[in-house]
Amino acid sequence: MTTDIVNLCDNGAHLPFGETGSGNYGMNLGSLDGKYTILLRTDEFLKLSKRVPFPNKASVYNIGDYGTADGAASMRLLGKLIESLREHHGHDVQFQVIYEDQEVNDFNSLFRRLSGLIAKPPSYLQDLEDVFALASGTHFYKQCVPADSMHIILCMAAVHWLSGKPPVNKDFIYCFPETEADVRQSFEKQASEDWEKFLTIRSRELKKGGLLVVSAPSDNPTSTGGMKLCNENYLHMLNSTWKEFCDNGRISKSEFVNTNLACFHKGLSLLKAPFENPSSNVSRSGLRLLSADVVTLPCEVYNEWKQRKEDEGIDDRAGYARRFVSAHRCWSNSAFLAGLSGTRSKEEKEVIVSELYGRVEGIVGKMNPELLKDDYTFSFVFITKE
């Protein structure tokens, strides 16, 4: 890891985990590929997409996939979208898909997947002609494409990442409900400001009548009236194990404090707030909220474990733990690397962080998956530009 990349991580950038070009994200979180069609209620999404004006059929239809990672999660959905739009607008229309992510993203895996070198999920480029895929290695808190150029922009499970280093949260690696009230308020303030910034920039990029679709990990109300955060159990295990590393001298107190996931789960009220204020920068930019909802999606790793137990009689808890931790390590690994002191070598950091995930995998392997079952709750919004 170069000094420049270390600095990016220290400022909240997410460094992909796994060998470049291996498609690691899609292999471990590829189950999201099928979930997107559920999350977006595909029929509603495709119906709205056909309302986006496209009067000049000789021009190019532009679709953005923001926060794409390696493209696995959106592959099938984009194929369905293009097929639907082509049926609606005519088979001679040319499409351009612009994949956006930060500059340290694993674009190698994205293009290997698009070309078919990584076979699953299958690339729509292998079946559809006159479709062209490009990448924008620009953080989505900046303008990523020319103004007034995009017909549709998708951003799925990415806007929970903050634009920079989060507020100091000395007792936890994440903004839990038990985080001190003033610290939590600072997180929420930063998340709200980031959301408004994200929206106003997307307004510049969208054409009039364009469609913006965003989903974000959200809070999940429990039967007792409290809040169960998506992935809460897992995040608490990471937090308590990292705290043990600190208490045992494996890492320093300052390293624990410096380990802070630069994300905040945006609930429905936070996502809707800028649209409810007619004088907000978002409202004045011309963006209007079409609909907003919350969807809870089942944990695919749990379903795989349960299916095998029922079909084959095999209670593979070690396999469950391995899959569970691997999936979540994709997005959380870089926060722990960034938290460790710059006086440590790259190799030493990687050993410590691998030890952390190994310890957590051992804990998960001893747990009943029924108690850990990790359903995902998302808020999602459909937005248009007037």
Domain ranges of the chain: 3-385
pLDDT, residue 167, reads 87
Neighbours of 192 (CB within 10 A): 16
Provide the residue type at 192 as one letter: S
Nearest to 40 by CA among 229, 275, 222, 291: 291
Nearest to 151 by CA among 97, 99, 198: 97
Neighbours of 226 (CB within 10 A): 10
Interatomic CA distance for residues 199 and 67, integer angstroms: 14
pLDDT in 10s for each residue of the chain, 386 residues: 343 444 444 444 567 676 776 667 766 665 554 556 555 677 889 999 999 999 999 999 999 999 998 888 899 899 999 999 999 999 999 999 999 999 989 999 999 999 999 888 899 999 899 999 999 999 999 999 999 999 999 998 899 999 988 888 888 998 888 889 999 999 999 999 999 999 999 999 999 999 999 988 876 544 333 334 444 578 889 999 999 999 999 999 999 999 999 999 888 999 999 999 999 999 999 999 999 988 877 778 888 889 999 999 999 999 999 988 988 888 889 999 999 999 999 999 999 999 999 999 999 999 888 877 667 788 889 999 99
pLDDT, residue 299, reads 78
Interatomic CA distance for residues 311 and 300, integer angstroms: 16
pLDDT, residue 21, reads 66
Nearest to 96 by CA among 72, 67, 125: 125
Q: Which two tokens stand for residue 289?
A: 């909220």
pLDDT, residue 29, reads 66
Strands 287-297 and 376-385, by their bridges, are: antiparallel
CATH superfamily to which 3-385 belongs: Vaccinia Virus protein VP39 (3.40.50.150)
Give this prediction's pTM: 0.90
Angle, in degrees to the nearest 10, between helices 317-339 and 232-247 = 60
Interatomic CA distance for residues 67 and 76, integer angstroms: 16
Interatomic CA distance for residues 35 and 219, integer angstroms: 18
pLDDT, residue 121, reads 87
Strands 376-385 and 219-221, by their bridges, are: unpaired
pLDDT, residue 229, reads 40
pLDDT, residue 285, reads 97
pLDDT, residue 223, reads 35
Where in 253-301 does DSSP place strands (E)? 287-297
Beta-bridged to residue 379, according to DSSP, are: 216, 294
Provide the residue type at 86 as one letter: R
Interatomic CA distance for residues 296 and 361, integer angstroms: 25
